[in-house]
Homo-oligomer: A and B are copies of this chain.
Amino acid sequence: MQNLNRNDLRQRLTESGFKATHQRIVVLEAVTELHGHHPTAEEVYQKLNPANPTISLGTVYKTLDTFAEAELIKRVLTEEGGKRYDTCTTTHSHIYCSNTREIIDFEDPELENLLRDFFSKKQVNNFEIKSFAVQLTGKKVEPDKQISIK
């Protein structure tokens, strides 16, 4: 879990050139708290709404979009349409469960090194690779004992 101290959040906003408004602090806080859940704008809104009932859904949409554009957070790949967000963390992969439609983080340093090596050697035609991720699709086989989310 990342830092949830509001002063630090404020600082991260300022460093990225944003006005540190209450709304932005709270949105960034909510996404951070939901890290690993790959929330939609609506879910971020639900998360922060109880404590911040005056912050509008529209602002959450705008703010998430602005943050993603500035790479303060990132958009998560999905095959379902609809935008999902997550905090930027270390490189990791996602497992998509076609049963439950969950997106589950899968961190594996060995895999990351393997890929980092591969792409450092291999030049991809005319592309400056900024990041990579492996997307696994599959099905849970033991519904109870599962990879822990967050």
Q: List residues of chain A with CB under 8 Å of any chain B CB.
A: 74-83, 95, 97-98, 106, 108, 110-111, 114-115, 118-119, 122, 124-142, 145-147
Contact = CB atoms under 8 A, between A and B. Distances in A.
Contacts of A128: 138-141
B134 A138 contact: no
11 contacts: A78-B81, A81-B82, A95-B124, A110-B118, A119-B136, A125-B146, A127-B136, A128-B140, A128-B141, A129-B138, A132-B137
A119 B80 CA distance: 25
How many copies altogether?
A: 2
Given A119-B136, A135-B135, 18 more contacts: A77-B78, A77-B79, A95-B127, A97-B127, A114-B114, A115-B134, A124-B136, A124-B138, A126-B142, A126-B146, A127-B138, A127-B147, A128-B139, A131-B137, A132-B134, A132-B135, A134-B134, A134-B135
B114 A118 contact: yes
Nearest to A126: B142
Contacts of A74: 79
Contact of A131 (B77, B83, B131, B136): B136
Contacts of A139: 127-128, 130
